[in-house]
């Protein structure tokens, strides 16, 4: 068989918040790593999106950071990487499981022979997963963690590099202020995410304008309004769709969804009870449902954009590495972001960069 699915970590209990460290000692190149986390809800009141149960995913080789992302960043990056939703179903009902999957993609697609993580090129690579079941879902009282690796097996693969993704900068959004960020120049860029998340706010209500320029504005690569950029990206990546489940009565209950902008939510009853539902303000990854009668299970179909508040800037044809942005040839690369007015220091923005890292 050309490939195999290797279990790096058999499912184990993750009831206590901790950082799980897994030595990556697979002999064959790894195309993708899949992390599964599930938390069992103990109430019908959602606290946060279940992706928050994984606060950090890192692949490190000593002090060398290969992958460094939060759970939400990893999911947002994967959506833009694949141009399709993850197929997850956030559950917020008591005793049900909130299951989340986080994929680290080292190639352009699964089993990309050109790009994969070759463990033999590193000294002591480790996967570190920081989890806390209490941070997402509906007051989860049990959690489980499991990790798989999609590896090359009988098919010989000699990857020339891999896709590296890191959160390189985080800052508190000011009140209608500019932030100037110097970006790394060591490896070609495939895509960049600019991410900000605030309940009831679309991303263009958090940061208004984005400008990317090189060599002190000698070349202005892009300079635009975020709302317009978002609409341009819609045609390239398509919408993010998902289904969520909750339980509500006559009082409105807030739920958390993955799309944060231009989101449309349609709620229907699920199960034996016939009911109607009011949906209110599906913005910023937060939506409220209210039912017409006593507690009943609601299922909602969600359609929108900017998963987890992430705006993607792709650099060329994502399938053609020769078309990506070769920043090694520029003297400086600067990103300028203008925040919206009316924000506080509690509102933050982070920058994620996906780069091509070659082995030689």
Pick from 6, 15, 43, 56: which binds other proteins (CB under 8 A)? 56
- What minimum distance in Å lies between the beta carbon of 201 and other proteins? 22
Per CB under 8 A, does 344 bind other proteins?
no
Pick from 28, 96, 205, 350: which binds other proteins (CB under 8 A)? 350
Structure tokens at 32: 């993708």
| 167 or 205: CB nearest other proteins | 167
The 3-class secondary structure across 281-328, one letter per residue, is EEECCEEEEEECCCCEEEEEEEEEEEECCEEEEECCCCCCHHHCECHH
Per CB under 8 A, does 182 bind other proteins?
yes
The residue range among 89-97, 156-164, 181-189, 262-270 that interacts with other proteins, by the rule CB under 8 A, is 181-189
Cβ count near 183 (within 10 Å): 18
3 state DSSP class of 163: strand
Residues β-bridged to residue 144: 13, 38
Using CB under 8 A, which residues numbered 118 to 177 contact other proteins? 128, 130, 166-172
Q: How far is it, in rounded angstroms, from Cα 295 to Cα 5?
A: 42
- What minimum distance in Å lies between the beta carbon of 19 and other proteins? 4
> Is the CB of residue 356 less than 8 Å from the CB of residue 188?
yes
Using CB under 8 A, which residues numbered 276 to 335 contact other proteins? 328-329
DSSP state letters, 122-141: SSSEEEEEEE-GGGSBTT-S
Q: How far is it, in rounded angstroms, from Cα 68 to Cα 60?
A: 8
Using CB under 8 A, which residues numbered 61 to 120 contact other proteins? 63, 65, 68-70, 73
Pick from 28, 32, 44, 58: which binds other proteins (CB under 8 A)? 58
- What minimum distance in Å lies between the beta carbon of 353 and other proteins? 10
Greatest CA separation for the chain: 64
How do 30-40 and 97-105 pair as beta strands? antiparallel
Output the CA torsion 83→128→258→241 (10° steps): 40
Per CB under 8 A, does 196 bind other proteins?
no
Residues β-bridged to residue 164: 355
# chain residues binding other proteins, by CB under 8 A: 30
With tokens 């600067």, the residue in question is 334
Pick from 2, 7, 19, 344: which binds other proteins (CB under 8 A)? 19
- What minimum distance in Å lies between the beta carbon of 123 and other proteins? 14
| 2 or 19: CB nearest other proteins | 19
- What minimum distance in Å lies between the beta carbon of 351 and other proteins? 8
- What minimum distance in Å lies between the beta carbon of 223 and other proteins? 20
Pick from 3, 15, 17, 113: which binds other proteins (CB under 8 A)? 17
State the residues that interact with other proteins by CB under 8 A: 17-19, 56, 58, 60, 63, 65, 68-70, 73, 128, 130, 166-172, 181-186, 328-329, 350
């Amino acid at each position: 068989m050309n490939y195999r699915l290797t279990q790096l970590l058999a499912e184990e209990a993750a009831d206590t918040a901790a950082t799980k460290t897994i030595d990556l000692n697979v002999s064959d190149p790894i195309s993708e790593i899949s992390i599964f986390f599930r938390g069992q809800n103990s109430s019908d009141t959602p606290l946060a999106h279940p992706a928050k149960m994984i606060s950090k995913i890192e692949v490190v080789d000593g002090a060398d950071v290969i992958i460094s992302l939060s759970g939400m960043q990893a999911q947002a990056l994967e959506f833009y990487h694949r141009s399709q939703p993850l197929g997850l179903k956030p559950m917020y009902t008591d005793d049900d499981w909130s299951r989340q999957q986080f994929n680290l993609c080292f190639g352009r697609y699964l089993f990309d022979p050109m790009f994969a993580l070759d463990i033999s090129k590193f000294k002591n690579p480790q996967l570190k997963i920081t989890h806390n079941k209490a941070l997402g879902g509906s007051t989860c009282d049990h959690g489980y963690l499991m990790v798989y690796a999609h590896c090359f097996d009988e098919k010989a693969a000699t990857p020339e590099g891999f896709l590296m993704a890191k959160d390189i900068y985080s800052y508190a959004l000011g009140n209608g202020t500019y932030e100037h960020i110097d970006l790394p120049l060591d490896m070609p860029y495939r895509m960049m995410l600019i991410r900000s998340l605030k309940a009831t706010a679309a991303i263009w209500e958090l940061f208004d304008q984005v400008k990317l320029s090189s060599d002190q504005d000698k070349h202005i690569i892009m300079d635009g309004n975020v709302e317009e950029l978002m609409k341009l990206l819609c045609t390239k990546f398509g919408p993010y769709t998902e289904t969520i489940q909750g339980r509500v009565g006559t009082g409105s209950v807030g739920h958390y969804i993955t799309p944060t902008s231009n989101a449309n939510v349609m709620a229907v009853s699920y199960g034996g009870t016939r009911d109607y539902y009011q949906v209110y303000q599906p913005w910023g990854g937060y939506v409220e449902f209210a039912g017409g009668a006593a507690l009943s299970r609601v299922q909602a179909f969600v359609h929108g954009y900017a998963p987890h508040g992430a705006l993607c800037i792709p650099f060329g044809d994502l399938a053609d590495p020769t078309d990506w942005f070769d920043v090694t040839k520029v003297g400086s690369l600067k990103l300028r972001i203008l925040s919206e007015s009316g924000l506080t220091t509690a509102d933050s923005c982070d920058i994620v960069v996906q780069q091509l890292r070659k082995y030689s």
